[in-house]
Structure 1
Amino acid sequence: MEKIALNIKYYRILRGLSQKELSNNICNISTLHRIEKGKQIPRLELISLLAKKLNIPIEWILTDEKVEDFETLKKYEKICSDLSYNRDFCALNEVLKDFEVFLLNSSMKNYNDNYYLKFLLWQKSIVLHELHKNSTAAINLIKKYITCKIHQEIDLSILNTYSIILLDMKNYQDSISILERAINSIKRFPYINDNNIIIKLKYNLAYSFYYVDNYNQSITAIQDAIELLELNHSYFMLGKSYHLLANIYCKLENLEEAKYFFEKALSVFIIENENEYYEKTSKQLDNLLNNYKFNNH
């Protein structure tokens, strides 16, 4: 009883949630307060709902294992995420070796639905694709640990990686299917901790539709992503989304809209000091303007 109370409080604080935020649409805040104080025994159904909102397996709340193991795993997760974000795949490959040794020797290794084992294999698939250039092996690894039922936020990230690999392999229709499956599952989530995953799914869906010349669907997906990006103040991705929209309107021969979104993309890239993207977009805009002048003479 006491361990359940401590675990709920620990993961709530770890996720940066107040009691009001965690209890919203699940139970009264006073109920959660009593549970965390150890003054009320929660029903298994309530524990399950709290676990889903905290985006952790229910076993993490019910376990008597030491919190220190979880903290070490969390550190590995942070290091791997940072290395992956910075595209340092050589370093990621080395860290994953230590991560795997620790995980397989920890008290967590026997859980049926092990979040960190899933995270480890996901990162391994990224290394296979990005470092070793073995997309087939990466996809085969993903297929081993992705389940038919999407019930954790990490599943969305895994499917997003799956779609990126398929895009690189020019398998656009399968990428669309994977991304639509992930996006359609989001409505079943009681709470999404990181809205960036929704943005990534929408952005990659827009690109997939773009490559199969389905421009209307591409516009719809990228506009959804832009709406979230503007709320999140994610400016670099916002610039990339404007750039994609400009390319779509070029394909549709809507030069005014293309010019408008190229200019919006440029304004973001210059603020974000993204020189490579700025130069690329500037050349595209110059070509567009030259063609526009030529066609109007």
Structure 2
Amino acid sequence: MPPTLEELRGEVSWLAGRDIAMRDARWVGRFSDFTRLAGTFRAGRVFLAGDAAHVHFPIGGQGLSTGVLDALNLGWKLALAVRGAAGAGLLDTYDAERRPVARRVIDNTQAQLTLMRPGCELDALRTVFAGLMAAGRESGQRLGSMISAQDTVLPEHTAGPGPAAGTFLDNVVLATAAGERDAIQLLQEGKPLLLLFGEEDSGHRDQARAWAGTLKVVRARAVPGVPYEAVLVRPDGYLAWTSGGCGLQEALSVYFAKDAPPGRP
């Protein structure tokens, strides 16, 4: 039976705990709570993203957000592969990075759906959960980060890529030779970014010379919150490597192909 505006109003009012007025609905649909997760997000030249890869209850728009982040993760990798600048296993990292995230989204939406179900048998669970939420800001921030995917940590693709590798780089403002630039501005070209901090040259630029055609190298003044001599930032804003981990060349080789020798395409 097609849903009605009155049915929707009743459900929303029950969730909110107060009467919610609604009128002049343009479209009312019904969503199922079934879930699906593809066994792999890549099979040869075929890649799955968004609803083709994962389906779940659409609470909080997390399905849309997850699909957009799938595209963000895959887009720059495909671009490098088309240009012949991708490391040998770069496209395989798409499944390794995005499928666990989709699994986690499915799990947390199922948990949220459980809390929403009617029935007094779940009142105790709702009471406990509400108490945890009221205990302090940390609980709310943790849930917010989970729902927004800002707490996503990517798996390691090298033997010890360094502290903070796999986390998202905050949009810090950096003092460069071209003036103040934030991280997003430096990534607008869609190129991986090697950020060198401070005045001393620790040889990182020389180590990355074989990838000069792919990398954007920027020297910036050291900033609080980024306690490294150098960081390698992927085009999607995640840290692929930080100084203090494995060698920079090892990390670069995993993600990017070396420049072609002079005279060769």
TM-score band (shorter)? under 0.3
TM score, norm. by length of structure 2: 0.24
| Structure with the higher strand share, 1 or 2 | 2
TM score, norm. by length of structure 1: 0.22
| Structure with the higher helix share, 1 or 2 | 1
> RCO higher in 1 or 2 (8 Å CA, sep ≥ 6)?
2
